Amino acid sequence: MWNRNFMFRSAEATPLEESENELFHDTDPAMDSAGLQLEKFLSVWIQGEGEDEKPTIFTNMYVRTATLDFQKRVGFLQPLQGRTHQIKQLLTPGQKQFLQQWLATTAPEAWEATDEHFKMLFELE
């Protein structure tokens, strides 16, 4: 199985260099938000068939919101959302556009082989 994570600041269209695993690996769950300087993020997981850096088809996308206090190294990761309407609501138009372009240019054969239902996730409304 092939997968890739993109971490966006909540309103930005370009992802961070770090993945969800890198940002949240050494953080503790926040017990409450009092006194925290939380930044909002959107974590996007895209799955497909293939191996390593060579996907052959894209099959699933999951999105979750996250918050992180970089100074205190604590944060919240919400559960993954995989339903079409949830994904469309959470992603900004810029994030949709970035992801679609990245998938289509990084692995054009996999993008062409991908089901239309998956591609609908990137439609701008």
What does the CA dihedral 24, 29, 33, 35 come to, rounded to 10 degrees? -80
Is there a contact between 42 and 95 (Cβ–Cβ < 8 Å)? yes
Residues paired with 56 in a beta bridge: none
Is there a contact between 73 and 90 (Cβ–Cβ < 8 Å)? no
C-alpha–C-alpha distance, residues 48 and 30, integer Å: 32
pLDDT score at 25? 76
pLDDT score at 121? 94
Give per-residue pLDDT as tens, 31-54. Answer: 666 778 888 999 999 999 998 789
C-alpha–C-alpha distance, residues 62 and 26, integer Å: 22
Is there a contact between 49 and 59 (Cβ–Cβ < 8 Å)? yes
User: CA-CA distances (angstroms) from residue 61 to 9, 47, 66, 88?
Assistant: 18, 6, 16, 11
Half-sphere exposure (CA, 13 Å, Cβ side) for 25? 6
pLDDT score at 32? 67
pLDDT over 90 at 27, yes or no: no
The whole-number average pLDDT for the span 81-89 is 91
Question: What is the number of helices (H) and of strands (E) in the chain?
Answer: 5, 5
Rounded percentage of the chain residues whose pLDDT exceeds 90 = 66
Domain layout of the chain by residue ranges: 2-119
